[in-house]
Amino acid sequence: MLGLMQRRELLISSIIQHAARHHGEAEIVSRRDDGRIVRTTYRALERRARKLMGALRELGVRFGDRVATLAMNSDRHLELYYAISGMGAVCHTINPRLAPNDIAYIIGHAEDHVLFVDACFAPLAAAIAPRVAAVLRAIVVLAETGEMKQLDLPPGVAQLDYESLVEAADEQDDWPVFDENTASGLCYTSGTTGMPKGVLYSHRSSLLHAYAVNSADAVAMRATTRVLPVVPMFHVNAWGLPYAAPMVGAALIMPGRHLDPVSLRALMDGERVDLSVGVPTVWLALVHHMRQTGGGFRTLKRIMSGGAALPRALVAAFAELGVEACQGWGMTETSPVVTYNGPKPATAALTGEARLDHAVRQGRALFGADVRAVGPDGAEAPWDGGSQGDISCRGHWIAKGYFRAPESEIADDAWFPTGDVGLIDPDGFLLLTDRSKDLIKSGGEWISSIELENIAVGHPDVAEAAAIAAPDEKWGERPLLIVVPRQGHEPRPEELRAFFKGKVASFAIPDRVIVAAELPHGATGKILKHELRRLYAGGK
Ligand code: AMP
């Protein structure tokens, strides 16, 4: 017998409808490129999103089409999130920090017909346009009417400006209703091998994730919260905050491109922010700034960190400033939050060093997702706080495959391998100890060691190359390249670094190049990265 309860589709549009109806006056505050602060409300944003939905239809966007964004956090990006997904199209957020080659590849792979870009990324979009002219029909610049100068675009790719587009569009009366399993968003991750892979979120997965993110033992926002997401809307939906905040009527304070500590602190203090979310690099810079200038935050009470391990010293530094620092863990494929370090009866009363020891843990699984460590014997490692294993997870918001890669699909109840290595303690808290993949993470951005190696060995003086992560105070990690010369050649480090210019994003260019006589190899011929880390980067 089936239950006798209403069945309504879990749709992203229902969030903004709820926010407009029950938190209509709640604010969305955005800092524009030129530093101006603009304000809107959930009520006004919902109406504009319905107009934007009309504009998208007039542009020829249909159910299931992918629509790309190349933008920082703003009210306009939020309108796009709701209008695109709300009409049943797929909001494809692109990371502007990727190399232009990768951006062109993913636009082609996703077949984005329309691309919305912040004015500051318009030159980047124009530079890529000739390479994606076969799929792209329009670039819409997120700017006022007449604010943007004409870009040099290939024939067939129109340039439009956002405000006149929305202004002229027909306001749609209703949000369409469709299957909650419909794709809502697309975000590409750079895998360990090959080209970036697309993670395709659904309305259902995004909604359930937003509920979980907002639970009391996790981010716990409420209608009185004023949250500043530093974590970008172009990466894993800014950890679900664009959904979770309007769900409860929390005010969203959008920093735009102004992510330096001076601007962030001013925005936090000026806009009475009490919660902020970002990667450790941002927090390190902010704490450094606070120490230099003295004083404290006016209203900030909590920060949430993720994307890389939260250093112990950072937790202590924030505590001195009267701010609680807490971390969550996840990845693009997991929407992203799987675990969050919320207290349990056994941990709530910890103080001093014991509290800091506990704070470096990545946390325990939120309801709706699960996590486990698998030991070398293939069995789940015991929760004893010492048995390490490969971390895998499963749940309502965990990917079961990559976009347009049927070979990657796993069963609905299968465990997704994360590539992270860690252990779980008796209270169920995960602690990451390593990662099995050899990617390098600098300031929240992945750098593929394989890509760097491939480029390096393309240099005429280089026989073999290995890229590893070297610890870095500011960025967390920076790439270090070790090369073996071709016989009779003498590679020069500075020239090698210059060789990377234009081939990878500038943040991916190795900081240091070491010339070595040989590289250590394992039994199957693979380069022993851990050995290199030990030799050159202070690893054990
Ligand atoms: P991405 O898919 O780019 O979001 O990167 C996900 C990866 O970032 C994870 O697989 C981890 O290796 C790393 N990561 C995320 N959160 C944390 C955390 N709290 N501590 C340590 N590493 C993390």
In a mutational test of the pocket of ligand 1, which residue from 432, 437, 477 has the highest number of ligand atoms less than 8 Å from its CB? 432
In terms of domains, do 193 and 265 share one? no
In terms of domains, do 176 and 110 share one? yes
The helices-and-strands tally (H runs, E runs) of the chain is 17, 25
Is there a contact between 161 and 143 (Cβ–Cβ < 8 Å)?
Answer: yes
434 pLDDT above the threshold of 50: yes
**Counted domains in the chain:** 3
Question: HEC states along 289-304?
Answer: HHHHHCCCCCCCCEEE
Is there a contact between 180 and 9 (Cβ–Cβ < 8 Å)?
Answer: yes
Residue 141 lies in a domain: yes
Structure tokens at 152: 């040099």
3-state secondary structure of 217: coil
Is there a contact between 476 and 537 (Cβ–Cβ < 8 Å)?
Answer: no
Catalytic residues: 189, 333, 441, 446
In terms of domains, do 431 and 445 share one? no
In terms of domains, do 429 and 447 share one? no
Convert the pLDDT of each residue in 321-334 to its tens digit.
999 999 999 999 99
Q: Which of the pair, 385 or 284, is modelled with greater confidence? A: 385
Structure tokens at 167: 């202004």
In a mutational test of the pocket of ligand 1, which residue from 420, 429, 477 has the highest number of ligand atoms less than 8 Å from its CB? 420
CA nearest neighbour of 389 among 402, 399, 376: 376
Task: Judge if the beta carbon of residue 391 lies within 6 A of ligand 1.
Answer: no
Distances (CA, A) of 199 to 106, 185, 207, 293: 12, 8, 16, 42
DSSP 51-76: HHHHHHHHTT--TT-EEEEE--SSHH
The predicted pLDDT at position 422 comes to 87
Task: Judge if the beta carbon of residue 189 lies within 6 A of ligand 1.
Answer: yes
- Ligand 1 atom nearest 363 alpha carbon: 19
In terms of domains, do 176 and 310 share one? no
| Angle, alpha carbons 166-171-176 (nearest 5°) | 115
The predicted pLDDT at position 192 comes to 43
In terms of domains, do 480 and 361 share one? no
In terms of domains, do 194 and 340 share one? no
Choosing from 176, 201, 226, the residue where a domain stops is 201
In terms of domains, do 70 and 167 share one? yes
Q: What is the mean pLDDT of the chain?
A: 93
**In angstroms, what is the span from residue 330 Cα to ligand 1's centroid?**
6
The predicted pLDDT at position 174 comes to 97
In terms of domains, do 305 and 350 share one? yes
Give the percent of the chain with pLDDT over 70. 96
Give the percent of the chain with pLDDT over 90. 79
CA dihedral 538, 438, 326, 228 (to 10 degrees): 120
Is there a contact between 509 and 502 (Cβ–Cβ < 8 Å)?
Answer: no
CA nearest neighbour of 533 among 488, 467, 475, 489: 467
Residue 117 lies in a domain: yes
CA nearest neighbour of 437 among 190, 188, 259: 190
Domain range for 185 is 13-23+36-201
- Ligand 1 atom nearest 444 alpha carbon: 3
In terms of domains, do 136 and 100 share one? yes
In terms of domains, do 308 and 182 share one? no
Task: Judge if the beta carbon of residue 416 lies within 6 A of ligand 1.
Answer: no
pTM (2 d.p.): 0.86
What span, in angstroms and rounded, lies between the C-alpha atoms of 112 and 20?
A: 29
Convert the pLDDT of each residue in 448-480 to its tens digit.
776 788 788 889 898 888 999 999 989 999 999
What span, in angstroms and rounded, lies between the C-alpha atoms of 170 and 474?
A: 48
Structure tokens at 376: 């070398």
